[in-house]
Chain A
Amino acid sequence: MVNRAFRSTGYFIEYLALLLSILSVWTVMARQGHLNTIILPAPNSILETIIDLVADGALFTNMFISVSRVLQGYFLAALLGISLGILIGLSKHLDRITELIIQMIKPIPPIAWIPLVILWFGIGESGKVFLIFLGGFFTILINVVDGIHQTDPKLVEVSRSMETPFWKHIALMVIPGAAPNIFTGLRTGLSSCWMCVVAAELVSSTTGLGYLIMDARQFGQTDIVIVGMLTIGIVGKLMDSLLRFVEKKTLRWI
């Protein structure tokens, strides 16, 4: 027992070691005046900026706006990605019909869509949600299709031999069989949605974390830029951890 506690403390130290070393080198260099604070402010001034931004509400307001945009686009991407993915995964015809166009659209990075999205939607909310949707949709779709293609044909045969009704077959055989891949799609989809929201806000927005960064850059507020970036990173990590947790709880059989 003692041994195990000891070991897990060790793991935790390893987990944080690199981050803490970087922070300490950074602090020492700032203290000794080696850093130009316009280019890289000291860790303590970044901490002060965090406190200020939290106090005046700018950080959480913008974070909340970005997160809620992501959730809208992501929800659409997951809904359509999973349902279309199941249809394409089950039907060889649909697979062949859609394959070319999916393979062609998929490599276009969401950022390259931004000009077109602005022309179509203007700079309102719907354009951003659409962009986020694009960012997640293809990743999710492709993973779901793969997952269904990889289901064990022997298990499908069992379900068939029992004359399982269509919807029951989908719910108890097809979806759980593809679930590990569906979750992979959902996780990579979410992180790509999160990257898209920042990209969209950088270009055309007056709110959100992307805007916070871009706005601070114009006034040379390097500390705010860094705080904004850190927040983007931390929120992304938290969302991924949350999904991993849900995945672990859901895929108990693995």
Chain B
Amino acid sequence: MAFDPQREDYQRLGLRFASTLDTSSPAEATRAFATFGRRFARERDTLPQSDGDRAFHLVATAAKHIDYELPFADDAEAEKLIQRGHALLDEALQLDARCYDAMRMKAAADNPSFEAFFSYLTEHAEEVRRTCEEQRDHILANDDADERTLLAADIAMRPYLRWIATQAEQALICGRNREALRLARVDLEADPRDVADARFTAAFACAKLEDEQALDELLHGAAAKRRIRPANDAWALIARLALAHKHYDLPAASALLNELIRTYPHAAESFVRQIELPEGVFARLSVRPYSEDELVLAISEATVLLQEGRDPEGRGVLSAWVAAQAAQTLPRAVLQMLAEQAEANARATGRGADHGKQGGSR
């Protein structure tokens, strides 16, 4: 499902606007609302909004720059986008000191290590939960439980869901897999629909812990049955593939890889390339289910599974195996092109093609 910052910005102002309309005259209200879309796009300042709404708008704009534009920018442009993004986040915090999205996004950049960022998130998680729950309870107490109220209550909780989801993802990156699984479960309990897609992180944590039972429960248990999307997403399939490979059940691992290749466009190329993307600082990027982008995102997050273990090329055991298997399904010309691209990228970033994590060189 993922969090879409622009959509959330729209929903916030929409709710605020609707609450100011005279509901005694439905026709009048409908007419007024017809102008909302245009005013949102062009005359935003004429719409009623709180400091929290303004701050969130800055967050959404910063998210657009950092998460959606930065990966495609050249060096000069990148620096500008980062600066602009950070200025927006600072401004957001001046407007609303409890704008937790802005706090979290700033902390992602300010903390030099995974460990420091994770500690920061852990330190403030309780405060974020309390504040968001207070806001939600306040909304639910003052209004009738109509659809708008429920949406507003839902939106009030989202900064907390994003906070915990980020914390879970960071725990996974730090090698704290039990904590990652626990946090993802906290997120899933707070939001059974799983807007944050915390189950993706949980699936990888289960694979890291080689806990097949926990993975089964996550993908096919009672909670899973209530979800709209079946457990055939890239994260679920990669987690199962990693487990099969860890059990040295190579036929099962191959079958899962083939399922991924059938499900996702250009999957074999993506498994040969295995691009590592920076994590979205607002939230996991919002991409179309079963799209090429979704698989690229899942593969990037699967770095923790792919790049583990000793391997002669230093790229990780599963990474090497998957790349070799996927390459077998591709024509020679495509492989040639992928190799050239990889070389050009390595030159451009000034690094070798070797992106292994292992120390201990001779």
Q: Are these two chains actual partners, yes or no?
A: no
